[in-house]
């Protein structure tokens, strides 16, 4: 499970992202929508037993992404939601040698899905980037809404708007 965060971020690096005007993106397959600051590039890759689905845009030095994967039903049935969210956060730390600066359990949406808001620092070469992520467990689907980039930019209004716009659809 730790690998799904790593796989998602690696897919973005290879995706050749392009920035355009902001628009609401709806993923029928992913059952979500988000106001990306441009038209996202989408990708789907297998990582072990999981399929990692990614939508991403690079705008003004920040990569904005929504990643989702469906966990095996047995994993969700036999695990506590908190353990699944813990595993996602630990995967972030392990795979990217990230330093978590804030981790806060929460709920998401009117359905009150279990969720976690995480802020971390990630070193890429000599540069320190900020990673902001919301991990949501909706049934057996794990959503990761994230932004990674310069610390000053990741904390700005455009990033807040992106996170606030994310909705899970039925």
Task: State pLDDT tens for residues 85-103.
Answer: 999 899 877 877 899 999 9
Residues 6 or more apart whose CB falls under 8 angstroms from that of 152 comprise none
Domain that holds residue 120: 3-168
Q: What pLDDT score does 18 carry?
A: 37
Query: Could you read off the pLDDT of 16-29 as tens digits, one per residue?
Result: 333 344 569 999 99
Extract the tokens encoding 166: 């994310």
With contact defined as beta carbons under 8 Å apart, do 68 and 32 qualify?
yes
- Residue 98 φ then ψ, to 5°: -80, 150
Extract the tokens encoding 113: 């899905």
Tally of structural domains, the chain: 1
Q: Which residue has the higher pLDDT, 49 or 168?
A: 168
With contact defined as beta carbons under 8 Å apart, do 36 and 25 qualify?
yes
**What's the CATH number where 22 sits?**
3.40.1000.10
Residues 6 or more apart whose CB falls under 8 angstroms from that of 99 comprise 93, 120, 121, 122
pTM confidence score: 0.85
What would the DSSP string read from start to end of 31-45?
Answer: TEEEEESSPPEEEEE
Best CA proximity match to 4, nearest among 117, 115, 142, 106: 142
- For residue 153, CA distances in Å to 41, 60, 69, 87, 147 come to 21, 8, 27, 27, 10
Instruction: State the residue for tokens 């920035």.
Output: 19
Q: What pLDDT score does 93 carry?
A: 79
């Amino acid at each position: 499970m730790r690998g799904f965060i790593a796989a998602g971020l690696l897919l973005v690096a290879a995706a050749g992202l392009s920035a355009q005007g902001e628009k609401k993106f709806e993923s029928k397959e992913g059952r979500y929508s988000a106001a990306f600051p441009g038209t996202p590039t989408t990708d789907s890759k297998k990582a072990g037993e999981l399929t990692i689905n990614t939508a991403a845009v690079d705008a003004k030095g920040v990569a904005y992404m929504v990643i989702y994967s469906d966990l095996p039903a047995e994993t969700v049935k036999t695990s506590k939601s908190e353990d699944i969210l813990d595993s996602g956060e630990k995967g972030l730390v392990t795979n990217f040698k990230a330093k978590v600066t804030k981790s806060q359990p929460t709920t998401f949406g009117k359905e009150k899905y279990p969720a976690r808001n995480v802020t971390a620092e990630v070193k890429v070469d000599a540069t320190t980037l900020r990673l902001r992520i919301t991990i949501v467990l909706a049934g057996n689907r794990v959503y990761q809404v994230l932004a990674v980039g310069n610390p000053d930019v990741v904390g700005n209004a455009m990033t807040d708007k992106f996170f606030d716009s994310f909705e899970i659809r039925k």
